[in-house]
Amino acid sequence: MGPLSIRLPIHSYRAELVEAVKSSRCMVVTGETGCGKTTQLPQFIREAGLASKDSAIAVTQPRRVAAISVASRVAEEAGVELGREVGYQVRFDDCSSSLTTIKYMTDGCLLRELLDDPELSRYGVVVLDEAHERSLATDILFGLVKNLLGKPLSETKARKRELKVVIMSATLNSQQFSTFFDFCPVFEIPGRTFPVSYHYCCPDDGFDGKKLVYMSQMARVVMEIHLDHPEGDILAFLTGQGEIETMCNRLFKMAEEIDYEHDVSCQEICGMKILPLYGAMSTEQQQAVFHGREPGIRRVIVATNIATTSLTVDGVVYVVDCGYVKQLAYNPSTGLDTLSVVPIAKSEAIQRAGRAGRTSPGKGFRLYSAKFFEGLERETVPEIKRTSLTSVVLSLKCMGILNVVEFQYLDPPDEKMVLEALRQLFFYRAINADGHVTDLGRQLVQFPLLPSLARAVLHSRTLACQEVVLPIVAMLSVESVLIRPSSTKDAERALQKHNYLAQVSGGSSDFSTLFTIYQLATSSADMRWWCRDHYVHWRAVNTARSIHQQLQSLLDRQPETDTHETPTAPLSQRIRQALCYGLFGSVARLSPGQRSFRTMDGHSTMCYIHPSSALFGQEEKLDWVVFYELVDTAKTYMRTLCPIRYAWVKELLPQLHDIDVYRLSNCERKREVAGVVAGEDLTLATKKMCQSPKETL
Ligand code: ADP
Ligand code: MG
């Protein structure tokens, strides 16, 4: 053990674990969160000589933050430079080399690697970590890895050694994983947890777990704990960056009111240190949460659910849980994935509170009532059952798995969702009417983007506007570009700056605003200063710059299929046309005489322009628009949009009548009970979609 390592429960089982990995091709390892699975097991495997740089260990994580953070921790423990023996790889950021023996990566990255290296020949051991999270990519990896395990070494082409697989999860569902992998052994690391007492902060008939209420309640509860309870850090769970920043400011102000002698230059206030923790933060900022504990100072960590199981913060004795989570889910009424805030599942509530009892007895404060808790779903619905499958279905098809309906899923998705994905891919011309991948489909899969954006990127070359569309797509691929401060004075100033940026770019397209920000920031002499001055996240633009370069080199590698004519339309039109080429599934039309729009994908969802858009308030001037995403809050809002002409999307809009979705699925078992239902629904959708746009209004 290096000087950095503290003794963790897993250390007592080192020899047995190594033996177990040696003697079985596949095993499940479970243990309480924080017992050392993610950081230690890969090191045990490496030190036992079960891996080398030619036969490395891949450890998948559903979240990119976790992959990066854990890799830096392990590199530090092992005393090596990050990116050499220990590295990580996440979308658009590869920090690994030919020397790398332990590679933490997102599950999505490993899935992409399978496209080029179907036998995963670089790896001796694949560890699918955080399996209980049931992320979409991990679920698909289960099936693919199981396939690989079934292949004897003699039948493989590139492998030198047999592949070993380790599934790691918190204490949930280990039996289901073992059963799926032909009843492979389960290794349980006995936990050392302490009792956690629960406190419901809301009476049963009270105003229960409502969003606005939990923000003010949380601030109050945190301050009460701080003032009245013995020492121990507080971990508070909220749903996202905006809420977390607001909460940190609010706590700071409350503490300031108590602590009159507070020294402004000092981070601690009233004996308390307030630390945010969410995915879009920089790695250095995140590391602040793991370091610098000081006696006598109580730390308050305000986090998203990344702190539930992916990242373990030591010293937590009190947990405050808002009871909600931000989740991406397919919305059947709109036919699109939407990000919305929903109640957590019971298992998540239990895991969150459990973080209080890792090193001593703890307390869990729930900002809802016991009745609300009883009413929660037992488990979080696996992502595969709630998000769109378009990307993964295309990947599977590219890997030669034609019949995606009968793929070995741990939990099969709704057949309707698979058919919906196939339908989408058909419209993208990524698969043909027989369900086979087209040349375009093979090109789209090369881009680590949604097929829709990849299509826009490819088409931008045909329309000779890639210098603009690539930066736009890069900016769409980073999280939160604009800083929205919570103090009123700053917020006003930020708004002025943002409005100015929108005006500079013409004031009629949010996509152009993104491009303007990118261009002005990257061409300024001091980008950090420019970003700070314009309330733009420097890190986001910096990341976008790297993504732009990567997209450019991917695009340069794609053969040109379209014949090139010198485009005659003005640039601003070509940009919007290229975007439409990918995003035609997200077009909407203004309802005459109103401020609302209807989507034109056959679902005819009513939606509005998001107040943050440059087009907000200009509804009467608009007719057709294309948008990047829908957000569901009080109403359904379109975010990031621009006006288009119907003529540009007319040919692209779904023409459903002539396709047989069952043919696309390459599934023999055609119209069985479930299938017929799905078929009828689709026929209905078909009819709707084939009506002329006028009639649908
Ligand atoms: P598990 O995977 O079983 O949940 P981990 O291996 O993630 O457990 O955590 C084990 C220990 O390592 C914990 O005490 C945790 O605080 C510490 N740790 C994990 N990640 C980091 C990090 N990025 N920086 C510092 N310490 C970390
Ligand atoms: Mg872990």
Residue list, CB under 5 A from ion ligand 2: 37-38
Instruction: Please report the atom of ligand 1 found closest to the CA of residue 6.
Output: 14
Report the pLDDT value the prediction gives residue 489, as an integer from 0 to 100: 78
- Do 435 and 394 meet the contact criterion of CB atoms below 8 Å apart? no
User: What residue's CA is closest to ligand 1, atom 25?
Assistant: 290
Report the pLDDT value the prediction gives residue 287, as an integer from 0 to 100: 79
Alpha carbon distance 293, 298 (integer Å): 9
Token pair for 314: 């030591």
| Ligand with the closest atom to the CA of 355 | 1
Ligand 2 midpoint to CA 310 (Å): 5
Beta bridge partners of 535: none
User: What residue's CA is closest to ligand 1, atom 5?
Assistant: 36
Q: Which value, in Å, is the radius of gyration of the alpha carbons in the chain?
A: 26
The ipTM value here is 0.98
User: What residue's CA is closest to ligand 1, atom 18?
Assistant: 312
What residues flank ligand 1, with Cβ below 6 Å?
8, 31, 33-40, 69-70, 73, 290, 312, 314
Ligand 2 midpoint to CA 73 (Å): 12
Report the pLDDT value the prediction gives residue 690, as an integer from 0 to 100: 32
Alpha carbon distance 629, 147 (integer Å): 35
Alpha carbon distance 107, 460 (integer Å): 29
**Beta pairing, strands 636-644 & 606-609:** parallel
| Ligand with the closest atom to the CA of 62 | 2
Report the pLDDT value the prediction gives residue 677, as an integer from 0 to 100: 32
Token pair for 657: 């009548």
Ranges under pLDDT 50 in the chain: 1-2, 656-658, 671-697
| Ligand with the closest atom to the CA of 288 | 1
Ligand 1 midpoint to CA 107 (Å): 19
| Ligand with the closest atom to the CA of 69 | 1
Instruction: Please report the atom of ligand 1 found closest to the CA of residue 35.
Output: 3
pLDDT digits (tens, 9 = 90+) for 217-254: 999 999 999 999 999 999 999 998 888 988 998 898 88
Alpha carbon distance 224, 205 (integer Å): 23
Report the pLDDT value the prediction gives residue 680, as an integer from 0 to 100: 40
Q: What are the residues whose beta carbons fall under 8 Å from the beta carbon of 644, sequence distance 6 or more?
A: 576, 577, 580, 587, 624, 625, 626
Instruction: Please report the atom of ligand 1 found closest to the CA of residue 33.
Output: 4
AA identity, residue 76: E
Long-range own/partner contacts, residues 548-554 (CB < 8 A, 24 or more apart): 548/470, 548/471, 548/474, 548/518, 550/92, 551/447, 551/449, 551/457, 551/470, 551/473, 551/474, 552/466, 552/470, 554/446, 554/447
Helix boundaries (H) for 449-509: 451-462, 466-476, 488-504
Cβ atoms within 10 A of the Cβ of 623, count? Answer: 12
Instruction: Please report the atom of ligand 1 found closest to the CA of residue 314.
Output: 16
Ligand 2 midpoint to CA 65 (Å): 12
- Do 603 and 333 meet the contact criterion of CB atoms below 8 Å apart? yes
User: What residue's CA is closest to ligand 1, atom 13?
Assistant: 34
Token pair for 231: 């020492």
Ligand 2 midpoint to CA 33 (Å): 6
Ligand 1 midpoint to CA 6 (Å): 10
Report the pLDDT value the prediction gives residue 550, as an integer from 0 to 100: 94
Alpha carbon distance 314, 417 (integer Å): 41
**Rounded to two decimals, what is the model's pTM?**
0.87
Ligand 2 midpoint to CA 138 (Å): 14
| Ligand with the closest atom to the CA of 351 | 1
Ligand 2 midpoint to CA 37 (Å): 6
